[in-house]
Amino acid sequence: MTQENGKIKFIGKAFCVMALGLCLALGGFSGSAAAWSLKGMKQSRDRDAMHHDAASSITDLFTKDKPVSAVESLGDLPDFKIKDEASFQKYTVEIHEVPYNETTLSYRLRLPETWDKRTQHMEQGVQLHKRLMSHITTFMAPPIADVRPSMTIQAKNLEHEIDAAHWLRHYLLVNGFTLSGEVEGKDLRNANAHFVYVRDEAAYAGYARAIFHGNMVTLARFDVPQRFVKWYSVLQKQAVDTLALVFPKSGTIEEWRRDNLGGELLEMQYPASWVRNRTRYNEDGIKTSFELHNQAEENKVFGLMHFTAIKRSKDTDLPTEIEILKKSLEEVYGLYVKEIKSSQPSYGPLEFDYIREEIYIVGFEAERGIQDQELRLLVMADSKWYVIFYMMTPLEANDFYNWARNMRAYAIIKDSFL
């Protein structure tokens, strides 16, 4: 019991720490650099990011720029003529970029040919980071008074398996942006969102899209001063949505490990960042169990999954095994149920004729010092075995990143049962 209490103290400390301290920056890498501007674009013209013709400071990318070209009338700007899909196709050109000669960063998109391009020139190419977004390219509209709408392409390496929609929401919130609607996930690897923020006492409206490919994410952002957003709404969304990766990386974000429960009873896969712990086997072979931990440095645990397989016999039945689990959770964790969120049939291997999933909000005894958790319980039974699989995770509102990471791992494991 001392060991169990020691373990839950680790869990309690970890679950009380917000994961919002990741501090992702908007321009991620360092080095000797020069920014450059290339005026004008021709239809379907390839432009290589390894050449430059005019130097300027990279800090100009996110500050008020001095006018580069004069616009006699706003009505002359192609930007203001784009009101639908047809006019977007008419007043924009296709851009094909291979930044730093890195094929995994190559992309296509459409923008008006009056926009300028600025990028950071690196002799050895760009080094992507896991914690910071690396700047790839920024396109700037002709100046309107003292401001310029912009579209920026960034990229970074990903650390953990996570849905694109969850990653994008987390990225925007930890960087101080306010979502102006729900994050829309087209699938697990594509998501987009509208957001607003204030810079230099001016309000801006942004639209972002995240594309996962392999263990990388490419992010496109189109930022417009709030007072001009109604004229740019179509161009903003269409331009970002036209972004396509030419040679996207394949594969998963993390390596997936293979494992099994009860020998060949149930095979599964899970992200390699999860640590296998507390494997137990009964001598009579009736019961076997193990745990997976979302474990950080200093053995802090930000998520826990427990798997148990019980061989059916005249001395075992499912209600009794569920009661044993309930008492174990109460004694080890001081856990009690505060709310039942759902209880319904679920999916799993065809050989199991009983599969049910329940979701709870659980609390803990005050002296444990643990915040409320979400408990997901999956119970399966066939003619020979009972399988009990549960996950404890921080609530979405308390630790969004680890909640999202845990939910993705749970889905990977559950789907791998099939």
- Parallel, antiparallel, or unpaired: how do β-strands 178-179 and 150-157 relate? unpaired
b/e code 208-233 from CB counts within 10 Å (16+ = b): bbbbbbebbbbbbbbbbbeebbebbb
At 413, is the secondary structure helix, strand, or coil? helix
Q: How far apart, in Å, are the Cα atoms of 172 and each of 167, 196, 208, 397?
A: 9, 10, 9, 15
CB distance 392 to 294 below 8 Å: no
Number of helices (H) and strands (E), helices first, in the chain? 6, 23
Predicted confidence at residue 283, as pLDDT, reads 60
CATH assignment of 2-18+254-416, among 3.40.50.300, 3.10.129.10, 3.40.1000.10, 3.10.150.10: 3.40.1000.10
Mean pLDDT for the chain overall = 83
Predicted confidence at residue 262, as pLDDT, reads 72
- Higher pLDDT pick, 119 / 163: 163
Instruction: Judge whether 2-18+254-416 and 34-245 match in fold.
Output: yes
Amino acid at 99: P
Mean pLDDT score, 330-341: 94
Residue 206: which pLDDT band, with cuts at 50, 70 and 90?
very high
Nearest alpha-carbon partner for 225 in 134, 154, 138, 143: 143
Predicted confidence at residue 5, as pLDDT, reads 46
Predicted confidence at residue 127, as pLDDT, reads 55
Percentage of residues of the chain with pLDDT beyond 90 = 64
At 201, is the secondary structure helix, strand, or coil? coil
How far is the C-alpha of 104 from the C-alpha of 372, rounded, in Å? Answer: 42
Residue 297: which pLDDT band, with cuts at 50, 70 and 90?
confident
> 341 exposed, middle or buried (CB, 10 Å; 0-12, 13-18, 19+)?
exposed
- Picking from 70-74, 124-128, 296-300, which range would have the lowest pLDDT averaged per residue? 124-128
Nearest alpha-carbon partner for 11 in 234, 295, 355: 295
- Helix axes 400-416 and 164-174, enclosed angle (nearest 10): 170
Predicted confidence at residue 64, as pLDDT, reads 42
Predicted confidence at residue 400, as pLDDT, reads 98
Predicted confidence at residue 7, as pLDDT, reads 42
Predicted confidence at residue 25, as pLDDT, reads 34
CATH assignment of 34-245, among 3.40.1000.10, 3.40.1160.10, 1.10.10.10, 3.40.50.1170: 3.40.1000.10
Residue with tokens 């030419």: 246
CB distance 235 to 85 below 8 Å: no
pLDDT per residue as tens digits for the range 175-203? 999 999 999 998 999 999 999 999 988 99
CB distance 155 to 219 below 8 Å: yes
pLDDT per residue as tens digits for the range 28-74? 333 333 333 333 344 444 444 333 333 333 334 444 444 444 455 66
pLDDT per residue as tens digits for the range 305-334? 999 999 999 889 999 999 999 999 999 999
CB distance 112 to 91 below 8 Å: yes
Nearest alpha-carbon partner for 152 in 111, 212, 186: 111
Predicted confidence at residue 129, as pLDDT, reads 56
- What single-letter DSSP state applies at residue 233? H
Predicted confidence at residue 19, as pLDDT, reads 36
Q: Where exactly are the structural domains of the chain? A: 2-18+254-416, 34-245
**Chain Cα centroid distance, residue 361:** 24
How far is the C-alpha of 207 from the C-alpha of 193, rounded, in Å? Answer: 6
Mean pLDDT score, 202-218: 96
Nearest alpha-carbon partner for 286 in 266, 318, 319, 309: 309
CA dihedral 262, 263, 264, 268 (to 10 degrees): 70
Quick one: CA dihedral 407, 410, 412, 418, positive or negative? negative
Residue 368 has pLDDT above 70, yes or no: yes
Q: What is the 3-state secondary structure (H, E, C) of 323-387?
A: HHHHHHHHHHHCEEEEEEEEEEECCCCCCCCEEEEEEEEEEECHHHCCCCEEEEEEEEECCCEEE
Residue with tokens 């990225």: 171
Residue 96: which pLDDT band, with cuts at 50, 70 and 90?
very high
pLDDT per residue as tens digits for the range 4-18? 444 434 444 444 333
Predicted confidence at residue 239, as pLDDT, reads 98
